Amino acid sequence: MAINTNTIYSQSDIEESDRNQLVSFYEALSNNVITAEILQTHIPNLKLLSETTDSKNQNKYTISIETILQNQWSQVAIINLKMEMIKNHIIQVSGEFTGRELLECEFITTEFKHIWEKNDKSTYKIVKQ
């Protein structure tokens, strides 16, 4: 598993099943085994609207959910994954993606923040990042 074992959960009311779905999604993402089809089994009805990332390397490379799904990165890991209920039915997930672009040797680190909204089917979708 390529997720840092120091996953942090807030003391808020994130249900265990919801937390498990999100962790499963990020595990699959970090293991480079996720495709758009597989994504639906982890979190049905997922819709990515936008993404907020900050590359610490200040270069042209940024790791995002989209670029991971396009297999542009190898050795992807997620560091300091943090989940926090920020309001009713809204969970903020933040952390850092690290990985190596397939044609480069340098490792890149990109901070991310994803906002998930619980829909009426007890799943989450990204409403903004």
Question: Where exactly are the structural domains of the chain?
Answer: 8-128
Check residue 78 and give its pLDDT: 92
Check residue 37 and give its pLDDT: 66
Check if CATH label 1.10.3470 holds for domain 8-128.
no
Check residue 67 and give its pLDDT: 84
For the beta carbon of residue 92, count every other beta carbon within 10 angstroms.
Answer: 16
- Low-confidence stretches of the chain (pLDDT < 70) are 1-13, 33-52, 54-60, 119-129
Check residue 47 and give its pLDDT: 46
Check residue 9 and give its pLDDT: 54
Q: Which two tokens stand for residue 70?
A: 């396009």
Q: Which two tokens stand for residue 46?
A: 């997922």
Check residue 50 and give its pLDDT: 46
